[in-house]
């Protein structure tokens, strides 16, 4: 019966029941849900089901093939570990947001058409924002707002692309895009925003480090990797992705090297790692696509592990900046050891999962004789060890002892990290179970003698450079300007420019028209007639020889009476008669 | 405090010296197999002795120096965006 139940529904409906549980039961319940979802994914039979008719479209909520299944496995597996890590957390909002977020990412992965994909895509964006807002700091609020705005933009690109594509082809099917037109490029941009490809990358290092301790662990896995999934499904072999991917690998390293905040270093290294995957999509051969999927699988595990390690430090010390941390190996040895396993894995040390997955992508580039691409990926591999492999653990756990003695983190966090460490090492030594679930058949072994030696040379000499250049790598209390400058500072500058120019025109107009012309008219309307009427009288009095003080008094008294309309009746009659005489004489 | 011996292995200068020696020796060891095995060149220019060691060394130096350089422009105070 359950052979074709959508795993997304299990988590999303399950999320609604979270408030009914209290205490430890709540923690066990949220661990159990993804475990059950993993089982549901495991026994899904290939094919598509759960069709619904919606506004003339036939939606497919469950499309099962090897590609969707492998992402289903890792999404549920990672959720299982993340909720073990979050055992201490009793916050309904965060648990429900996380389950909605993970559930809708499964919805994207199993969606058989563009319309239902779009629906889950947007739910993901909204639900994930709550994991950032959950930190309840002013910075997190602001970062959360920027995060959702960027994703609304990405979602709009995707929606516009989908609408154009549907109107062009008449089909809502989501499969490999062959047409290269405005519509498909808009869809590509929508996906690339979530993949954090420059210039739409700054949202990730802006928002993730502001998330809660557990939020960071969960966020690190889903948004970017659903984007990788959609690219593998929709854009394999689009060569522009090779260049975007290569840029991402180097961009991530440069920014991670400049960064001071440990969780922000890890955020930039997500961009670097996703760069490898996107390059694999761009190469587009069976080997490189397998590599992309395998690397996404392993990356989710070791990156969550690294975020868990940094999260434990944040949880225990309340700090995440390298300049505040150091010397923690003394009191947090287990967090260090597990973090180091994650660091070794992301660096693709032989016997870790990164080695068995990344090699597929790099060999994919070699098979296609893409010399420059291969060279960039090798340089980036060396750089990964530099920034995530050594820099992160060194500055957090070693470097200068800052006198922090927090003690080891709580047991559930350690358990989750131990589980993830085990997976990193297991997949590094026995990658076959992973290779078996990849979308295409794998005939590959990463473990040739020369390959292992080359990798060790690359990594050890990178380590040597790190320690030789340590004085140059000293941390400073700074942040780095990224493309978010344009909507954070640039927006403000545009505002100021608008303020100066438009309000300048406004002030100028105000001076000329409101205070000038209109003022004149207003004054004229108030006493213009009275002043005109004064003219003949003053002339008459002057001719009569009335001067100086007396003239002034008579003048002001008449003006006073004229303005208030209290002229003696005789005077009014005299005025009227005078005007009649003048008219008579003039005609 | 006195009862429990403090674990400060990585703070002691003599151990740091040992770690440096270990690092140099390990780097040297990775080069030894290149004397005996012939690694197949994928692109013609990558088959020579210690290619990957050189690649790792040079690219990391280049990445650090490049990041230093762009850092001059990109690095700003933490309160740059206010708060």
Q: Tokens 């100086």 — which residue?
A: A548
**Do B56 and A458 count as a contact with CB atoms less than 8 A apart?**
yes
User: Omega of the bond prior to A199 within 30 degrees of 0, cis?
Assistant: yes
Q: How far is B69 from chain A (nearest CA, A)?
A: 10
| Count of CB pairs separated by less than 8 Å, A with B | 144
Identify whether A500 is part of a domain. Answer: no
| Under 8 Å between Cβ of A313 and A325 | yes
Q: How far is A379 from chain B (nearest CA, A)?
A: 6
Contact with chain B for residue A202, Cβ under 8 A: no
Which chain B residues contact residue A332 at CB under 8 A?
none
- The arithmetic mean of pLDDT across residues A384-406, rounded, is 87
Verify that A155 and A185 share a domain, yes or no: yes
**Do A461 and B54 count as a contact with CB atoms less than 8 A apart?**
yes
Of A258, A386, A450, the CB nearest to B75: A258
CA distance B36 to A456: 16
CA distance A375 to A398: 32
Verify that A243 and A218 share a domain, yes or no: no
Q: How far is A89 from chain B (nearest CA, A)?
A: 28
CA distance A93 to A133: 10
DSSP E strand boundaries for A485-581: none
Of B10, B50, B64, the CB nearest to A465: B64
User: A352 vs A348, A358, A466, CA distance in Å?
Assistant: 6, 11, 21
| Side-chain half-sphere CA neighbours of A347 within 13 A | 29
Identify whether A487 is part of a domain. Answer: no
**Do A253 and B67 count as a contact with CB atoms less than 8 A apart?**
yes
CA distance B77 to B29: 43
Structural domains of chain A, count: 3
Domain edge (last residue) among A219, A235, A251: A235
Q: How far is B2 from chain A (nearest CA, A)?
A: 16
Q: Would the pLDDT of A283 be above 70? A: yes
pLDDT in tens, A471-529: 888 888 888 888 888 888 877 787 888 888 888 888 888 888 888 888 888 888 877 87
Verify that A209 and A355 share a domain, yes or no: no
- pLDDT at residue B3, as a whole number: 46
**Do A253 and B63 count as a contact with CB atoms less than 8 A apart?**
yes
Contact with chain B for residue A51, Cβ under 8 A: no
pLDDT averaged over every residue in chain A: 90
Q: How far is B3 from chain A (nearest CA, A)?
A: 16
Identify whether A161 is part of a domain. Answer: yes
Domain edge (last residue) among A235, A253, A277: A235
Q: How far is A179 from chain B (nearest CA, A)?
A: 33
A52-56, A249-253, A450-454: lowest mean pLDDT where? A52-56
- The arithmetic mean of pLDDT across residues A546-566, rounded, is 82
- pLDDT at residue A461, as a whole number: 94
Verify that A78 and A94 share a domain, yes or no: yes
- pLDDT at residue A223, as a whole number: 93
Identify whether A29 is part of a domain. Answer: yes
Verify that A269 and A134 share a domain, yes or no: no
**Do B37 and A449 count as a contact with CB atoms less than 8 A apart?**
yes
pLDDT in tens, A243-269: 999 999 999 999 999 998 999 999 999
- The arithmetic mean of pLDDT across residues A405-430, rounded, is 92
**Do B60 and A465 count as a contact with CB atoms less than 8 A apart?**
yes
CA distance A244 to A242: 6
Identify whether A488 is part of a domain. Answer: no
**Do B20 and A465 count as a contact with CB atoms less than 8 A apart?**
no
**Do A382 and B59 count as a contact with CB atoms less than 8 A apart?**
yes
Which chain B residues contact residue A453 at CB under 8 A?
30, 33-34, 37, 39, 52
Verify that A299 and A173 share a domain, yes or no: no
Nearest partner of A132 among A31, A321, A7, A263, judged by Cα: A263
pLDDT in tens, A95-144: 999 999 999 999 999 998 999 999 999 999 999 999 999 888 888 999 99
Verify that A160 and A197 share a domain, yes or no: yes
Q: Would the pLDDT of A552 be above 80? A: yes
- pLDDT at residue A37, as a whole number: 94
| Under 8 Å between Cβ of A469 and A100 | no
Q: Would the pLDDT of A169 be above 80? A: yes
- pLDDT at residue B79, as a whole number: 83
Verify that A142 and A220 share a domain, yes or no: yes
- pLDDT at residue B2, as a whole number: 43
Verify that A146 and A187 share a domain, yes or no: yes
Residue scoring higher pLDDT (A570 or B5)? A570
Identify whether A496 is part of a domain. Answer: no
Report percent pLDDT > 70 for chain A: 99
Confidence of residue B36 (pLDDT cuts 50, 70, 90): confident
CA distance A343 to A293: 20
- The arithmetic mean of pLDDT across residues A414-437, rounded, is 94
**Do A458 and B42 count as a contact with CB atoms less than 8 A apart?**
no
CA distance A115 to A113: 6
Phi, then psi, of B79 in degrees rounded to 5: -95, 20
Domain edge (last residue) among A201, A235, A269: A235
Residue scoring higher pLDDT (A483 or A308)? A308
**Do A472 and B68 count as a contact with CB atoms less than 8 A apart?**
yes
Contact with chain B for residue A48, Cβ under 8 A: no
- The arithmetic mean of pLDDT across residues A40-67, rounded, is 87
- Rounded to two decimals, the pTM is 0.84
Confidence of residue A560 (pLDDT cuts 50, 70, 90): confident
Of A254, A459, A480, the CB nearest to B56: A459
Verify that A420 and A330 share a domain, yes or no: yes
Closest chain B residue by Cα to residue A331: B7
**Do A382 and B76 count as a contact with CB atoms less than 8 A apart?**
no
Q: Which of residues 353-392 of A touch B (CB under 8 A)?
A: 366, 369, 371, 374, 378-379, 382-383, 386
**Do A480 and B7 count as a contact with CB atoms less than 8 A apart?**
no
Report percent pLDDT > 90 for chain B: 39
**Do A464 and B23 count as a contact with CB atoms less than 8 A apart?**
yes
Identify whether A251 is part of a domain. Answer: yes
- Domain range for A409: 239-482
Verify that A88 and A183 share a domain, yes or no: yes
Which 8-state DSSP code applies to residue B3? S
Verify that A246 and A225 share a domain, yes or no: no
| Under 8 Å between Cβ of A119 and A183 | no
Identify whether A490 is part of a domain. Answer: no
- The arithmetic mean of pLDDT across residues A42-50, rounded, is 87
């Amino acid at each position: 019966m359950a052979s074709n139940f959508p795993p997304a529904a299990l988590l999303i409906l399950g999320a609604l029941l979270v408030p009914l549980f209290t205490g430890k039961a709540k923690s066990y319940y949220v661990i159990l849900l993804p475990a059950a979802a993993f089982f549901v994914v495991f026994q899904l039979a290939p094919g598509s089901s759960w069709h619904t008719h919606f506004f003339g479209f036939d939606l497919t909520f469950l499309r099962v093939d090897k590609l969707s299944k492998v992402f289903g496995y890792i999404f549920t597996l990672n959720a299982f570990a993340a909720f073990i890590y979050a055992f201490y957390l009793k916050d309904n909002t965060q648990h429900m947001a996380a389950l909605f977020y993970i559930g809708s990412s499964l919805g994207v992965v199993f969606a058989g058409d563009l319309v239902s994909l779009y629906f889950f895509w947007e739910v993901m964006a909204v639900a994930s924002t709550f994991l950032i807002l959950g930190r309840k700091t002013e910075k997190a609020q602001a970062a959360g707002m920027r995060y959702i705005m960027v994703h609304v933009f990405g979602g709009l690109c995707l929606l516009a692309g989908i609408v154009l594509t549907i109107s062009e082809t008449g089909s809502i099917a989501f499969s490999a895009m062959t047409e290269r037109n405005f519509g498909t490029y808009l869809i590509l941009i929508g996906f690339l925003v979530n993949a954090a490809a420059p210039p739409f990358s700054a949202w990730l290092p802006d928002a993730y480090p502001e998330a809660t301790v557990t939020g960071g662990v969960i966020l690190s896995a889903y948004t970017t990797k659903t984007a990788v999934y959609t690219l593998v499904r929709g854009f394999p072999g689009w060569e522009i992705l090779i260049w975007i991917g290569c840029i991402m690998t180097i961009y991530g390293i440069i920014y991670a090297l400049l960064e001071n905040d440990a969780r922000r270093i890890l955020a930039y290294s997500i961009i670097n790692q996703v760069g490898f995957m996107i390059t694999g999509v761009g190469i587009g051969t069976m080997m490189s696509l397998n590599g992309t999927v395998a690397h996404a699988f392993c990356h989710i595990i070791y990156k969550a592990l690294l975020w868990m390690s940094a999260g434990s430090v944040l949880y225990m010390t309340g700090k995440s900046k390298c300049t505040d941390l150091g010397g923690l190996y003394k009191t947090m040895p287990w967090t260090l050891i597990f973090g180091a396993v994650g660091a070794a894995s992301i660096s693709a040390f032989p016997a870790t999962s990164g080695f068995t997955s990344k090699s597929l992508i790099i060999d994919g580039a070699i098979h296609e004789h893409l010399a420059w691409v291969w060279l960039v990926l090798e340089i980036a591999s060396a750089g990964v060890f530099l920034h995530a492999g050594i820099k992160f653990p060194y500055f957090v756990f070693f470097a200068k002892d800052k006198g922090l003695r927090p003690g080891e983190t709580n047991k559930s966090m350690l358990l989750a990290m131990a589980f993830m460490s085990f997976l990193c090492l297991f997949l590094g030594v026995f990658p076959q179970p992973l290779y078996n679930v990849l979308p295409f058949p794998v005939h590959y072994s990463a473990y040739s003698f020369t390959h292992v030696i080359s990798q060790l040379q690359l990594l050890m000499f990178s380590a040597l450079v790190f320690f030789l250049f340590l004085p140059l790598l000293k941390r400073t209390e700074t942040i780095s300007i990224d493309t978010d400058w344009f909507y954070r500072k640039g927006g403000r500058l545009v505002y100021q420019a608008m303020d100066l120019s438009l309000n300048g025109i406004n002030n100028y107009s105000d001076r000329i028209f409101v205070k000038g012309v209109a003022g004149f008219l207003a004054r004229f309307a108030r006493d213009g007639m009275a002043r005109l009427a004064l003219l003949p009288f003053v002339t008459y009095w002057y001719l009569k020889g009335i001067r100086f003080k007396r003239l002034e008094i008579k003048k002001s008294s008449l003006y006073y009476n004229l303005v208030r309309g209290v002229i003696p009746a005789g005077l009014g009659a005299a005025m009227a008669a005078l005007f009649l005489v003048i008219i008579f004489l003039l005609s | 405090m006195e009862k429990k011996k403090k674990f400060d292995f990585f703070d002691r200068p003599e151990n740091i010296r040992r770690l440096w020696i270990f690092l140099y020796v390990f780097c040297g060891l990775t080069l030894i197999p290149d004397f005996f095995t012939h690694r197949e060149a994928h692109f013609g220019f990558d088959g020579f002795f210690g290619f990957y060691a050189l690649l790792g060394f040079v690219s990391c130096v280049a990445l650090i120096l490049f990041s230093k350089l762009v850092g001059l422009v990109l690095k700003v105070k933490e309160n740059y965006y206010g708060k």
